[in-house]
Amino acid sequence: MPSVRVSREHFERLVGDAIDSLPDEFRRAMDNVRIVVEGRAVGRHLFGLYEGIPLTKRTGYGFGIAPDKITIYQDEISDASSNEQELAARVKKTVLHEVAHHFGISDPRLDELGWG
């Protein structure tokens, strides 16, 4: 089974690089969302998870509204990668996939676009 291990710091840099690769207008449009790295999703096999209200469905913010959250799962992505180039590509695809959910793009549409 392939597996690539890098430090959390290195992995977080890969996530940052993926975010930096977004066009400026998308980075500026990301609103009230935080991106975190964790090891594994408990009880699930996920590379990433978006939790929140997509921008296309928001009506505004009120007191006590928590920011959206994108979690990138380092161990899952590492376990599926056989070298650092593959790891970086999986991180980028996962980040873009979860950011797309923040913008209201569904899984079926992401599959059509090749980002599923």
Tell me the per-residue pLDDT of 55-77, one tens digit each, with 9 for 90 and over: 888 766 556 677 899 999 999 99
What distance, in Å, lies between the first and last C-alpha atoms of the chain?
Answer: 22
Question: pTM of the full predicted structure?
Answer: 0.89
pLDDT at 116 over 90: no
pLDDT of residue 67: 84
Instruction: Flag whether pLDDT at 79 surpasses 70.
Output: yes
Q: Which residues pair with 36 in a beta bridge?
A: 71
* Residue-level pLDDT at 60: 63
Residue 92 pLDDT > 70: yes
Q: Which domains does the chain have, with CATH numbers?
A: 8-113 (3.30.2010.20)
Secondary structure letter of residue 39 according to DSSP: S
Helix or strand run (H / E) with residue 27: helix 24-29
Rounded Cα gap, residues 72 and 11, in angstroms: 10
